[in-house]
Structures are given as C-alpha cells and as structure tokens.
A and B are shown apart, each in its own frame.
Chain A
Amino acid sequence: MYPVFLAQWMKDKRKPYLILLFIGLSILATIIFGDIDRIEQTTVAVYSTESNAEELEQKWMELLGHHDSIEFVWMDQEKAHAEVLEGNSDVALQIMENDYRIITANEMPGVFIVNQHVHQVFTEEAKLVAAAGTNSTTELRNEVGEYLKTPPITIQTKSLDGGELANHDMGMQLLFGFTLFIAMFTIGFKVNGITADKVSGIWNRLILSPVSKTNMYIGHLFYSFCVAFFQMMVVFLIFKYVLDYELGNFAMIVTIAAAFTLSMISVAMLITGFVKTPEQFYMVYPSLIPMIPVVSGVYMQPGTITNPILQFIADIFPLSHGVEAMMDVALYNAGWNDILLPIVIMLLIGVLAMGIGINIVERKK
C-alpha cells in the first residue's frame, strides 16, 4: 500500500503545478461562492422623474434604507434602466410623491423580494401621512417609532420544546454545500488516476509485483482521500479563522468531512467502473456532478424539493447527508449522537458504491 501511495505522491511532487492549480482554484471558487454575506446584497437603482426629485431622494432613501440585504442607490433614469437591461441588477425603483413603480426586465425571484419591502415602506408612510393630517409627519414618525419599540402585539418563533428555533442560515448551507461540492471534483480527478494507470500499463506491472490488489486500490484511494481532505481542511480553516465564520464544533465538522470524502471516493470509483478510459471519465464526471447539489437541494431552502423521486436520488449521494450533518453541527449544536446517523449513511453509501464499483472495474477485460 505505501509504495503505491508514495508513487502517487512522487508523481504530484515532481509535477506539482497541476494539482496545486486544481486545489488552488477549488479553494478560490469555494470562497467566492461560499462567502455568502457579499452575495446576498441586492443593489437597487432608485430614480425619480418628478420635478422635486432631490426632495424625494432625501425623504425616501432614508425610509427605504433599513433593509439587511437590499441596498438602494440613487441614480438617474437612464443609468438605472441601463443597469436593469444589462442584467446588472434585477430591478430599479421609480419613486413619486406617494407612489412607486418597480421597474424590471425579467421575472427573476429578486423582483418579488424587493417589491415586498418597498410596498411595506410606502404603505406605512401613507398611513402615517394620513394620520398626521396637517401636523408634522416627522414628529409623528418619531412618536410612532417610540411606541412601536414596545408594541402591544408581538410574535416569536420557538421550537417544539419552547426553546429557540435556530434560524436556518442559507449562507451556511451554501458554504458547506460548495466546499463539499467542489471537493467532489478534486476527488474525481484523483480517483481517475486508477484508470490512467490502467491505460498506461502501470497497473499491469503492479499486478506482477508483490503488492496485493487490495493494497493497490487502498494506496490510490488513500492518496485521493488525503488530497481531497487537505483541500477541504484548508477551506474550512480559511472560513473559520480568516473570514470568521461560526462553524460550530470543529472536530465534528472534520469528522463529517472525512466520512464524506470516503463516501464520495467510493462514488467516484463507481463512476470509474462505467468508463473505459480516463478521458471518458472527464466527460461523464463533470456532467454528472453539477446535478448532485441541485437535486440535493443545496442551493435552495430546505423543503423546496418535495418530489419523492428527486429526494430519493438525492439520498443516494453523500452530499445531502454531509451538508445536513454539518448544518446540524453549525446551527443546531448537534451532538455526536445526532451526527452519527448521517455519518453511518455516508459510510454505507461508501461501502456499497465501492463494492459495486470495484466489482465492475475488475470484471472489465
């Protein structure tokens, strides 16, 4: 086993650029996509065609500005329209004295979110103005603000046992999802080394050597494990210490990452079983892999995918289990007992996929 492992290591050590490029780009991509705080900001261009545009700007920009993820920027009409048309932002906002229009050029989800916020702001303001009558609205607004600090009716969300229900953090889900998703590419790329060895004849020479077949596989796969695991660790450490994300119990995250890597290596091995040459693998693998996070619902709020067939497909890949377990750790303070089930499922997927995969590979002449 060690000679095989070392052989892989020496290959990469002598020509380190490719693998370094691979790992480097993967880390970069994960950080670009996973650093969700930046992504969730939507910029909305605001303009007005009224004569008292400046007055309106001052009034409404102040009132609209209280939203966590929507940023309102004042610009002139032409520029705002251009922004929307070029697709730089989904919507622009035209404001009038007491009314507004959302200006858009598509039907993407962002439009409705902005509309909801703006509508609420304008409705509240209209009610305020009506109530104030001839009096000053500024004063009334302050008083109402004061009153609403202790509103008569409040509402809260709790978990079933009355404790706090952790907010589902979509950003966290994307962070874990992308880290695991992109690691899948590295895993596939390294596992493909087995097929590459086979077509180049190295595999046959190894069979003639005293190394047992099991050890040949283990050497290869263990090396793939190390590379992929290393990549994930770098990503997690960057997120934890450089970008200051709260990842929860790190030891548990690492354990889940390890189980996921093992499991995914097996899935890659299974896919290897279906191809003859390393080049076919390069064709099949990158086409299949982007489907997995989509089906597993990594990009969406949980509960979005309700189709049982899709759910079943998602369940047979380790990604959904890995992300779920990591989310439990990061958000719900899960203990070792809670993450045991997903880990066992991932390992089970691993065992099955590895068994079938190696079987197919070995039967092939």
Chain B
Amino acid sequence: MGSFLKKDLLIFWRDRKEVLIALLLPIVLIVVLNTALSGMFSKDGDSIDIQVGIVEEDQALEGFEQFAESLNNLGIDEAEKEAILSQASSINPSEMLNSFFNNPEIKQVLTTRVVSEAEALELVEEGELHAFVIIPEEFTYKVLSSIILGEEVDVALSIQAEEQSTELSTLQNMMNDFIESINLEFALGSIAEGENQEPKLPQGGIEVIEGVETFSFTQYITIAMSTLFALFMAQTLAVKTVTEKRERVFNRIILTGSNPFHYLMGKTLSTFILSWLQIMFTITITQLLFDVFPDKSLEFWLGLLLVITAFALTVAGLTALFTSITLNVTDTNAASGILTLVIMSIAVVGGNFTPIQILPTFLQRIGEWTPNGMSLTVLLEWIQLSNPGNLVIPIVILLGYFLVFLVLGMAIFPGRGRN
C-alpha cells in the first residue's frame, strides 16, 4: 500500500501547476476578499475618503433681506415682524450645512472644497471629485419661508455625480440622515407646544451574547475557502482515476497481483494527507498575513486541528467513493463531469461560496448536513462559544461520513476481472 500512496503523492507533486493552484489560490482568494470587503464594513469606516465639491449658489445674507422684505409685503405689524425676524436669524440653513460639512466626525470621511459649478463638472469628469453638492439659489430665502410662513418649497439641494458608486451612496446616506434629522427638528419646532425637554436619546449599541466571542468576516472566509479547496482536492485526486483507467494503470496494477484495495487506500490516504496539509498551509499563511485568529488559546487551536482533521478524513472518504464510482462507469468523461457537479453543488449549499443565509431555507437545511457546511458551522461556533462539548457530535458525524463513504467505496470497488 505504501507504494500506491507514494505514487499518488508523487503524481500530485510532479504536476507543479496543480500544486501551485492548490496552495496559492485559496490564499489569493482570501487576500482579495479580505482587502476588497473588510475595509468597507469596518466599524470606523475610515477606509473611505469621499471627495466632495460644494457649489454655493445661495447668498445667505441676501436671502435674509429678501425674507425680511417679503414680510413687509405681508402687512403684519412691527412687533410680530420683529419676533419672526429674530426667529429667522436663529435658523440659518446654509450655516447648518456648513457646520455639518465641518463636523470633525464627518470630515474623517468627507473631504470638501468649495468650487463653482463649471469647475465641479470638470473635476467630477476628471475623477478628482466623487460628487458635488449644489446649494441652489434662494435656498436660504425659500427654506425660511417654508419653515416660518409654511410656504411650499420649490428648491432642493442636489447631489450630482457621474455614476453610482460606494462613495456616492455613502454620501447620500450621510446627507439624508442629516437632513432628515434637521427636518424633524423643524417639524417639532413648528408643531410641538409642550415644554421641550431634553430628549432621552437611546444608548443603543451592539452587544455580543454573553459568553460568546464574535467571528469576523476574515475568519469566515478563511475557513470557507480552506474547506472549499479541500473539497476540490477530493475531486482532483478522484478524477485522476479517470486518467489511470484510460491509460490502463488500474488493469496493470491488478495484473501485478497486488491487492486492488491497496490502490483505493492509497488514493484515500493521499487525499487525506494532501487536503490536511493544504488546509494547514492556508490557515498558517493567512494567520501570518492577517493575524486571522488573534489571541487564541492553545485549546482553540487544538479544537481547530481536530475538526480539520476530521474534515480531511471525510474528504478522503469522498475520494474513495468517487474513485470506485469512476472505476465502475463506462463513460469516464461523464464521471468527471458529474464529480465536478457534485463538488460544486455541495460547496454552494455548504456555504463555501456565499454565506448560507442567502440560500432558500430548504437548501440551508441540506447545507448544514454537507461535510463542508457542517465543518464551517462547527468552526464558527467554536470561535464563538469555545465549548468543547459542541465539537463532539459534529466530529463524530464527520467521522461517520468518512466511514460510510469509505465502506460504500469499498463495497462498489470493482474486484479482479474485466471492467
């Protein structure tokens, strides 16, 4: 059996393209996903810097004068007019916008500069600015008339941009939130008569369930990608049987008088070794690159190792089953096609490509029972709860899978004779 194991390991090792793909691709994918996605959602969000031009067409002072003049035309008495004007001077819409843009928190994300509309257009087209905000003519006047006199507003702030982008939608969100909150304030100011108490603002906050550690996106994709590529490993080694069948390697092995089961065992064992090494390599490198699992105890690593070993065994079992199936069917091309399909399908429902939440519920249920899906879930739970008791059942199930696959593979493994 040792020679068969050696054969399979050597065949794999000699195809350097395969070795490179098996070792590098998972890491490349993790790096890409991590750099592309994690910055976007990090809590402080300082990874984005939005360049915004401000086009100020409104003249605040003239707006006030215009407003005062329009009061004259309304024909109200002086005292009332005074009261309204003093109220108006406490509201300065364009000043509000300015203080919003100059708020240090906002400034972390937005870099603003005042430009003319023509300049802004040019800068956006050149890609220097992501978008620009126009404060339209008569903005102050119209807004004041609306708030105090209840007139309809027919001017609006506008954000102009060339096309949709993450930056633009962040800007839109921030501006919308801000404007909603000041509108609400105006609304309350104009409606509520009650003695305006200080609002009891919610404290809010994100809490983690007691005794639970959170897992991060990086941890999620590290585990998802390493289990995914281990699955590919099962496929790779099983599909090699097709080549060996076509080149009569298998028949020759039988002729030598060695036990054909050794052939199967060689495949199984080599898959176990290779997929185990592959996962270890991926996790080690990503750990060194990103510190994926920071400050974890020895116990955590041991648990991780155990689950990975059990999973690698299941993958090896899959190879055994696939190998036997391949040897049994006549259309080997179809066999490799179907193997690819099976592997891709369980990878998808197991949540290796996308979080399983986006799958329909019945597929989620199936996904939880695929070896890869189960390993993924149990490892995420292990990060969260660190409860060794939770590892037992999944590991037993994974080992059970391994045994079932292996026994099935052995049962349908063709014996001596023509096949």
Contacts and interface: CB of A to CB of B under 8 A. Distances in A.
A89 to B, nearest CB: 7
B10 interface: no
A305 B47 CA distance: 12
A100 B167 contact: no
A196 B243 CA distance: 11
A165 B164 contact: yes
Interface string A272-305: 0011011110111011101100110101111111
Interface in A97-131: 98-109, 111-112, 115, 118-120, 122-124, 126-131
Nearest to B169: A301
A15 interface: yes
A159 interface: yes
B41 A109 contact: yes
A152 B146 contact: yes
A210 interface: no
Interface stretch (A132-140, A214-222, A245-253): A132-140
Contacts of A303: 165-167
A262 B339 CA distance: 26
Contacts of B169: 168, 301
B199 interface: yes
A283 to B, nearest CB: 4
Interface string B361-389: 00110000000000001001100110000
A307 interface: yes
A89 B153 contact: no
A64 interface: no
Given A104-B207, A135-B194, A277-B243, A98 B93 contact: no
Interface stretch (B72-80, B170-178, B399-407): B170-178
Nearest to A91: B206
Contact of B198 (A88, A130, A301, A302): A130
A110 B45 CA distance: 15
Contacts of A131: 188, 191-192, 194, 196-197, 199
B57 interface: no
B158 A156 contact: yes
Contact of A21 (B159, B161, B341, B356): B341
A127 B184 contact: yes
A302 B152 contact: no
Interface residues of A, number: 103
Nearest to A88: B357
Given A104-B207, A301-B169, A159 B161 contact: yes
Best-surrounded residue of A25, A278, A282, A307 (most CB of chain B within 10 A) = A282
A99 B167 CA distance: 31
A364 interface: no
Contacts, number: 306
Interface stretch (B234-242, B260-268, B307-315): B234-242
A302 B157 contact: no
B242 A98 contact: no
A39 interface: yes
Interface in B78-128: 93, 121, 124-125
B25 interface: yes
A130 B196 contact: yes
Given A98-B200, A126-B201, A303-B166, A160 B193 contact: no
A304 to B, nearest CB: 6
A363 to B, nearest CB: 16
B202 A155 contact: no
B319 interface: no
B355 interface: yes
Interface stretch (A49-57, A141-149, A223-231, A349-357): A141-149
B195 interface: yes
B35 A274 contact: no
B191 A147 contact: yes
B190 interface: yes
B21 A288 contact: yes
Contacts of A101: 204-207
A326 B188 CA distance: 46
B249 interface: no
Given A85-B381, A148-B184, A106 B214 contact: yes
A284 B194 contact: no
B164 A127 contact: no
Given A25-B345, A81-B209, A89-B357, A156 B159 contact: yes
B205 A304 contact: no
A238 interface: no
B188 A127 contact: yes
A2 to B, nearest CB: 23
B153 A279 contact: no
B255 interface: no
B214 A280 contact: no
A87 interface: yes
A275 B15 CA distance: 10
A36 to B, nearest CB: 9
B284 to A, nearest CB: 20
Given A118-B204, A286-B344, A18 B338 contact: yes
B183 interface: yes
B35 A133 contact: no
10 contacts: A32-B360, A85-B209, A103-B207, A133-B192, A133-B196, A140-B191, A147-B186, A155-B156, A157-B159, A279-B243
Given A130-B198, A157-B168, 9 more contacts: A90-B357, A101-B204, A122-B202, A130-B197, A133-B192, A152-B146, A159-B161, A168-B169, A301-B166
Ordered nearest first, which 9 A-B pairs have the shortest CB separation? A133-B194, A168-B164, A130-B199, A122-B202, A131-B192, A303-B165, A152-B146, A151-B183, A154-B156
